[in-house]
Amino acid sequence: MLDFSILTNYTDLFLEGLKITIIVSLIALICSFILGTLIAIMRIAPFKLLNWVGTAYVEFIRNIPVLVIVFFTFLVGNFGGMIAGTIGLTIYTAAFIAEAIRAGILSVPKGQMEAARSTGLTYGQAMRMVILPQAIKIVIPPLGNQFINLVKNSSLLAVVAGGDLMYQGDLISAMTYATFDTYIFVGLFYLIITIPLSLGVNFLEKRMARSN
Amino acid sequence: MDFFAPFIEVYTADHLRFLLEGFWVTLKVAAASIVLSFIIGGIVGTLRYAKIPVVSQMLAVIVETIRNLPLLLIIFFTYFALPEIGIEMEITAATIAALTVFESAMISEIIRSGLNSIEKGQIEAGRASGLNYIQTLRYIIMPQALRRMVPPIVSQFISLLKDTSLAVVIALPDVLHNGQIIYAQKESYVVPVLVMVSLMYFIVNYALSMIARRLELKQI
């Protein structure tokens, strides 16, 4: 049976890891939402050069492993593992969020932009006050999925000593020599975060499918 | 020209060959894993679609558990924890096993939703024409569903190729691992090596994503 004394003896480390995993995922989500929105707007703005830069970013980043990006930010920047990991996760996730937001913006009928422009709003104002608020509804379920991916991908911090749940699990298993039991507990902690999130996303997706 | 000097220094024939050897390992491991995942995911997805009592529910719990865990944990678990209960694998086998467990869960979801996307009337029509349930699945539902599943499965293969890089933590001699060996020689090698590794991934994955996109367009 599982050795629950690991859980009671190392509660502090597990909770510290859980805290860092959640904080890093949340910060990376917020930052990649901002960066992703900018890139999505670049991709649809009426400027060829911006379109190209946005597309190049999305296509390049989506097709390379997140671990390579995390190594890059860790080895090139002079940050600790936690900050480098958060930046790496942000760069990676922003590409996926940009695509979700772009799909959301494109789902708003063109007439909305034309109507907003004809009332005298600039392109930026029309985007911010008319198009984005309508697009955001469609974007919420994919954003939820990206958050789940972020929580899972934040485990890469363990590779650059980022202090997250996976990293603490490694430390604990090295101290206890009970790798099997420790990893099971680590897995359970991840599930505590990700399962409710998946259920929430499923619920939202179903509700949206019905409202259409 | 200081910035480009390390690039010229690193990109020698020997280094590039070493990286390509690693990338070949990446491709082989990914190919083996996708074949196994497709078989296992296909069986799991079909069993869940068929709503066989108890079996379907048990599979649902297993699939949801695996899908909600980080792949890195599954790789660590396969290589470091399983030997404690007597299951020992060498690095390549452990990588393929871990990737297969994770990707099978993902692919089973693609298969299940692909099957679900075929209207229920098709089953009824198949049954009414005298086919049994298995025959209906095999001859009527599967051929239609498979066509719809191809684009998401190609996307999943792209994810799998990227995910293979995680096996660097258990020292699989893949492209990232070989890259680490090269840039361990000199700090200025880090950027050029990581750029080259990224380019290799990018070229293959971008080509795959183009194929997936073309297949998707064809269906509309």
Backbone angles phi, psi at B183, to 5 degrees: -80, -5
A77 pLDDT band (50/70/90 cuts)?
confident
Mean pLDDT to the nearest integer, B151-176: 93
Q: Could you say which of 2.60.120.430, 1.10.3720.10, 1.10.150.120, 2.60.120.1440 is the CATH number of the domain covering B5-219?
A: 1.10.3720.10
> Is the confidence at residue B184, as pLDDT, over 80?
yes
> Is the confidence at residue B220, as pLDDT, over 70?
no
B151 pLDDT band (50/70/90 cuts)?
confident
Residues of chain B contacting A148 with CB distance shorter than 8 Å = 68
Task: Write down the H helix ranges in chain B.
Answer: 5-10, 13-49, 55-67, 71-76, 91-116, 120-128, 133-135, 142-163, 175-183, 190-219
Mean pLDDT of chain B, nearest integer? 92
Residue A22, C-beta contacts closer than 8 angstroms, at least 6 positions apart: A151, A193
What region does A59 belong to: left with phi over 0, alpha with psi -120 to 50, or beta?
A: alpha
Handedness of CA A23, A24, A30, A31 (dihedral sign): positive
Please give the residue that has the higher pLDDT: either B44 or B138: B44
Q: Which CATH class is domain A5-211?
A: mainly alpha
Residues 28 through 87 of chain B touching chain A, CB cutoff 8 Å:
64-65, 67-73, 76-77, 80-82, 84-85
ipTM of this predicted structure: 0.91
Q: Residue B71 has what pLDDT?
A: 97
Q: Residue A212 has what pLDDT?
A: 62
Digit-coded pLDDT (tens) for A120-167: 999 889 988 999 888 888 899 899 999 999 999 999 999 999 999 999
Inter-chain CB proximity A194 and B176 less than 8 Å: no
Q: Residue B219 has what pLDDT?
A: 64
Establish, for the pair of chains A and B, how many residue pairs have beta carbons separated by less than 8 Å: 105
Domain boundaries, chain B: 5-219
Digit-coded pLDDT (tens) for B66-123: 999 999 999 999 999 999 999 999 999 999 999 999 999 999 999 999 999 888 888 8
Residue B113 touches partner A, C-beta closer than 8 Å:
no
Inter-chain CB proximity B206 and A63 less than 8 Å: yes
Domain boundaries, chain A: 5-211
How many angstroms separate the CA atoms of B119 and B104, rounded? Answer: 25
Instruction: Report CA A130 to chain centroid distance, whole Å.
Output: 25
Inter-chain CB proximity B77 and A187 less than 8 Å: yes
> Is the confidence at residue A50, as pLDDT, over 70?
yes
Task: Write down the H helix ranges in chain A.
Answer: 5-9, 11-44, 48-62, 66-76, 81-106, 110-118, 123-126, 132-153, 165-176, 179-211
Q: Residue B91 has what pLDDT?
A: 96
Backbone angles phi, psi at A162, to 5 degrees: -90, 0
